[in-house]
Amino acid sequence: MTQLSSALPAIDAHYVDRRSYPHGIAFMDGQYLPMSEAKISVLDWGFLHSDATYDTVHVWNGRFFRLDLHLDRFFGGIERLRMKLPYDREKIASILEDCVVLSGHKSAYVEMICTRGSSPTFSRDPRQAENRFIAFAVPFGSVANKEQQERGLHVAISETVRIPPKSIDPAIKNYHWLDLVMGLFDAYDTGAETALILDTNGHIAEGPGFNVFVVKDGLLRTPAFGVLPGITRRTVFDLCAEIGLSAKAVDISRAEIKAADEVFITSTAGGIMPVTRIDDGAISNGRVGPITRRLIDLYWQKHDDPAWSTAIIYP
């Protein structure tokens, strides 16, 4: 555990009164701060141009889930965007843990961010920008609430098209969300709870912060083109391999997803979440299916498995 910086002088992380941080902790510019004090400059390219990458890992019952995979993806994005971090992988993992411990949360949503920053001379040359690392831990949140988890989500398919992978590599987690946000408004206009948008070929792509799977005749399929290779998406593949289910990444049409036996979405924010209604029709019998339920149960069981999770050392 590292010591707090000059923001809280001479106070060790183990002894901070967590009641001072009810909403979470952020790390910026070498110091830990309450979330309400975590701010970036309006000149930061992360704000002005969405020039940033990030990754989010969750903590459940005091354990990070698949932290190494999230760190792998984060560092991959850093490299491909030609950014430089002031900390190595081990130090960043330590900062994330400190944020969780200082917040006191046993279930948390933990984000690591690198923005392009800004140039001291206001140059438009991104090579002259001073990159910034930010991290924070806040209480765990889910795409689907408890009621939606039990009955299944109502999703609408928007005509909005996902930013094509030739423009922005979807493997680099980013904040280019206007296509997803407009898809959400389309969904809300029809009375749905969230949205799926299309790829440039008119197939199903993904939703705001989640991937999607269909189950048909016992086989699982998920969109292959132009989507973020989500860590929870990968976890579904791993779980399927473990229990002998077939899962593949392929193109999925609107007709196929509506004719599925089961549909579910996947996200670090909520795990595996059922979908029982798309547009104006029910999926199969309109109930959460047996394969979805089996995967949900197994997914949460893995959170206590040392091979899949990392314990946090709390004071």
Residue-wise pLDDT tens digits, 132-153 = 999 999 999 999 999 999 999 9
CA atoms within 13 A of residue 248's CA, in its CB half-sphere: 7
Bin 24: left if φ > 0, else alpha if -120 < ψ < 50, else beta. left
Which residues have C-beta within 8 Å of that of residue 145, sequence separation ≥ 6? none
Same domain, 35 and 61: yes
What confidence score (pLDDT) does residue 20 get?
52
Residues 313/63, Cβ–Cβ less than 8 Å: no
Residue 258: give its domain's CATH number.
3.20.10.10
- What band does 201 get if pLDDT is binned at 50, 70 and 90? very high
Domain stop point among 139, 168, 195: 139
The Cα 112–Cα 137 span in angstroms is: 9
CA atoms within 13 A of residue 102's CA, in its CB half-sphere: 32
Q: Helices 67-80 & 89-103, crossing angle to 10 degrees?
A: 130
Same domain, 152 and 299: yes
Q: Residue 238: helix, strand or coil by DSSP?
A: helix
The tally of domains found in the chain comes to 2
Query: What mean pLDDT do residues 105-132 have?
Result: 95
CA 256, distance to chain mean position in Å, is 26
- What is the pTM assigned to this prediction? 0.91
The Cα 200–Cα 209 span in angstroms is: 18
Give the rounded percent of residues in the chain with a pLDDT score beyond 90: 91
The Cα 139–Cα 103 span in angstroms is: 9
The Cα 119–Cα 130 span in angstroms is: 6
Domain stop point among 82, 105, 139: 139
Same domain, 115 and 151: no
